[in-house]
Structure 1
Amino acid sequence: MPSISKKGTQMPASPIRKLVPYAEAAKKRGTHVIHLNIGQPDIKTPKVALDAVRNHTIEVLEYSMTQGSEEYRQKIAAYYAKRDIFVDAEDIIVTTGGSEALSFTMGSIMDNDDEIIIPEPFYANYNGFATAAGVKVQPIASSIENNFALPPISKFEELITPKTKAILICNPGNPTGYLYSKEEIEQLADLVKKHNLFLVADEVYREFTYDGREHYSILQVDGLEQHAIVVDSVSKRYSMCGARIGCLISKNTEVIATAMKFAQARLSPPTFAQIASEAALETPQEYFDDVIEEYVSRRNLLITELNKLEGVKVATPQGAFYCVAELPIEDADHFAQWLLESYELNGNTVMVAPAAGFYATPGLGKNQIRIAYVLEKEQLVKAVQILGKALTEYNA
């Protein structure tokens, strides 16, 4: 029998999706599963985006430009300009989701066995993108004790080797919800300039910041133009996960030219999704104000309820719509599977994402889970109640 590749063997399974078969089996048994595991917002997609697709006049569904339509890229640039971030349409490549932008970035700036430093816990698919690109992740641990703040710069410097090509952050963070301050971003900027590295920022949750805090982009740092690469997406901003439209942004013309070759290999981003995404840029600020108010309310409720559970420790998110909770158990993977296979309360159970898959360091996050607070508050309260009673029975 022919063998599969080493790369395929090493490709990690998604900690967010790997429990899906157990959830589906629970549903077939008649158990209602409350999904806390995945960041699929229940907020309605802006009507203007859906109407743009409904009312299109396209008669031939042609390829779009490899880099995305010029009109759409100009409107993306205008979106950034309103936030005092000044880029041109030529600095932007439209991608099939933020995922493709990250893959293009790794392919463009790193070779096999090169290294990228990432604060952990981090978005689990970074491990997958790195494996696919033949890149080695050098993790640097942040702690729930200080809300997953940026680790000391000295710790980053200790990890830098001749193989190091970039530092990657997610701001605000998935899975932690941590929002990096301007000072933290500037510390990273000084570091990458000192060592001639790239600074890659996944900023797909930039609109979701709380408690009066503001997002500070790496594109706003003076003198970082040749080092900064931003990944963005419409998925969470406009509740358009299924559109699969993102973008890669950099003032470094060599990065853009190289990423374009990867983009050409996949031909073009999807046309209808670009139409919807372009229209979504017309979404009024009131939409975001309402969404943020709702997420703050959900966050506050969730944190309050989790803090009522004995032995549970939780970090307070400052952005995005996730939190990491530490449970009084040894193995969150086993617990999450047990919830779906062996536990229910009045016909209900919960599905969570074990946090170990958001770390690259073996053994870290074993007793942590990620919770996405993308459900209505009534469901969040019910889910935490189930979680608390499940922990009591599991530890009995």
Structure 2
Amino acid sequence: MPTISKKGKLMPASPIRKLVPYAEQAIKAGKHIYHLNIGQPDIKTPEVALNAVKENDIDILSYSRSEGSEQYRKKLAKYYAKHNIDVSHEDIIVTTGASEALLFLFSSIMDPGDEVIISEPFYANYIAFSTATGVNVVPAICSIDNNFALPPVDTFEKLITPKTKGILICNPGNPTGCLYSKEDIEQLSTLAIKHDLFLVADEVYREFVYDGHTHHSILQMEGIDQHAVIIDSVSKRYSMCGARVGCLVSKNKTVMQTVLKFAQARLSPPTYAQIASEAALDTPQSYFDDVIKEYVERRNILITELQKIKGVKVAVPKGAFYCIVELPIKNSDDFAQWLLEDFDVDGETVMVAPAGGFYSTPSVGINQIRIAYVLNKESLLKAVTILKEALNVYKD
């Protein structure tokens, strides 16, 4: 019988999606599920984006350029200028989501066996991207005890080996909601320049920053141009997860020329989704003001209610819309499955993402979950109430 590849065997299942079969069975059994497991916002997509597709008169749905339409990239450059990021459209390659941008980048700047340092816990698919490209993840471990603050820069420096090609951060962070300070970004930039490494920042949650804090992009730093790469996406910013449009931004011409070859191999990003994404750039600031106000209220309700549960520890997010929660249990994978298979309160239960999949370090985070507070406030309150009841009766 033919066998699959070693790489295929090593490819991890998504901690966010692997429980879907149990959720489907729960729904068939008549249960209502509050989904705290996935970052699918319930915020409405801006009408200007939807209308751009509905009202378009395309009669031949043709390929776009491999790097994305020039019109969209020029408009993106103006968007970045508003955020004090000085780039031209030639510094941007449009991708099929941020995921493709990272896959292209890993393939462009690292060979199999090379290493990338990532602050941990991190977005679970980073492990999948590293597995797909044969790259080794080296974790810079963060702790819930100090709200997942970035480790001291000397911690990163001690992890650098001859195989290290880059440092990857997510800012604001998924799954922690951690926001890095200007000093954090400056120190990482200095380190990248000192050791001639790439500094890669996943900045898809740039707009989602709370409590008067400011987002600091790596491309705002001095002297970093040849080392810095931004990964970005429309998915969360405009509640357009299904568009699957992202981009890669860098002033390093060699990197961009190399990434373009991978982009050419997959032909082009989706045309209609680029039309929607280009129109979304006209979304008024009032949209974001309302969205941020809503997320702050949701966060505050969630954190307040979680802190009332005995034995629960929770990190307070400063950005994005996720938090890591440590539970008084041994194994969150078992707990999450039990919630779907064997537990309900009046026919309702919750679905969470076990946090172990957001760590590369074995046995770390196995009593934690990630919660995405993308439900309305009433649903969040109900979900936490159910979670509390579940913890009262759950037996490891």
> TM-score higher than 0.5 here?
yes
Match for 1:183: what amino acid?
E
1:142 aligns with 2:142: yes
- Could you tell me how far 1:395 is from its partner in structure 2? 3.6
Match for 1:307: what amino acid?
Q
- Residue correspondences, number: 396
Match for 2:102: what amino acid?
L
Q: Which runs of 4+ in 1 moved over 2 A?
A: none
- Could you tell me how far 1:141 is from its partner in structure 2? 0.8
Residue in 2 aligned with 1:43? Answer: 43
SS in 2 for 1:119: strand
Q: Distance in 2 between matches of 1:219 and 1:140?
A: 22
Q: Which runs of 5+ in 2 are unaligned?
A: none
Residue in 2 aligned with 1:58? Answer: 58
1:234-277 superposed Cα distances (whole Å, 9 cap, x missing partner)? 00000000000000000000000000000000000000000000
Residue in 1 aligned with 2:290? Answer: 290
Q: Which runs of 5+ in 1 are unaligned?
A: none
1:387 aligns with 2:371: no
SS in 2 for 1:229: strand
Residue in 1 aligned with 2:372? Answer: 372
Q: Distance in 1 between matches of 2:211 and 2:94?
A: 32
Residue in 2 aligned with 1:20? Answer: 20
Q: Distance in 2 between matches of 1:334 and 1:320?
A: 27
Q: Distance in 1 between matches of 2:153 and 2:289?
A: 34
- Could you tell me how far 1:158 is from its partner in structure 2? 1.2
- TM-score calculated relative to the size of structure 2: 0.99
SS in 2 for 1:230: strand
Match for 2:29: what amino acid?
R
Residue in 2 aligned with 1:172? Answer: 172
State how 1:258-273 maps to structure 2 within 5 Å: 258-273=258-273
Q: Distance in 1 between matches of 2:355 and 2:59?
A: 47
SS in 2 for 1:199: strand
Residue in 1 aligned with 2:280? Answer: 280
SS in 2 for 1:94: strand
Match for 1:245: what amino acid?
V
Residue in 2 aligned with 1:353? Answer: 353
Residue in 2 aligned with 1:104? Answer: 104
Q: Distance in 2 between matches of 1:337 and 1:320?
A: 26
Residue in 1 aligned with 2:241? Answer: 241
1:3-30 superposed Cα distances (whole Å, 9 cap, x missing partner)? 0000000000000000000000000000
Residue in 2 aligned with 1:11? Answer: 11
Residue in 2 aligned with 1:340? Answer: 340
- Could you tell me how far 1:153 is from its partner in structure 2? 1.3
SS in 1 for 2:231: strand
- Could you tell me how far 1:362 is from its partner in structure 2? 0.3
Q: Distance in 1 between matches of 2:144 and 2:287?
A: 32
Q: Distance in 1 between matches of 2:140 and 2:194?
A: 19
- TM-score calculated relative to the size of structure 1: 0.99
Match for 2:180: what amino acid?
Y
1:308-331 superposed Cα distances (whole Å, 9 cap, x missing partner)? 100000000000000000000010
1:138-187 superposed Cα distances (whole Å, 9 cap, x missing partner)? 01110001110101111111111000000000000000000000000001
- Alpha-carbon RMSD: 0.6
Residue in 1 aligned with 2:73? Answer: 73
Q: Distance in 1 between matches of 2:361 and 2:250?
A: 30
Match for 1:256: what amino acid?
M
SS in 2 for 1:85: coil
1:65-96 superposed Cα distances (whole Å, 9 cap, x missing partner)? 00000010000000011111110000000000
Residue in 2 aligned with 1:303? Answer: 303
Residue in 2 aligned with 1:220? Answer: 220
Match for 1:85: what amino acid?
I
Identity %: 70
Q: Distance in 1 between matches of 2:395 and 2:303?
A: 22
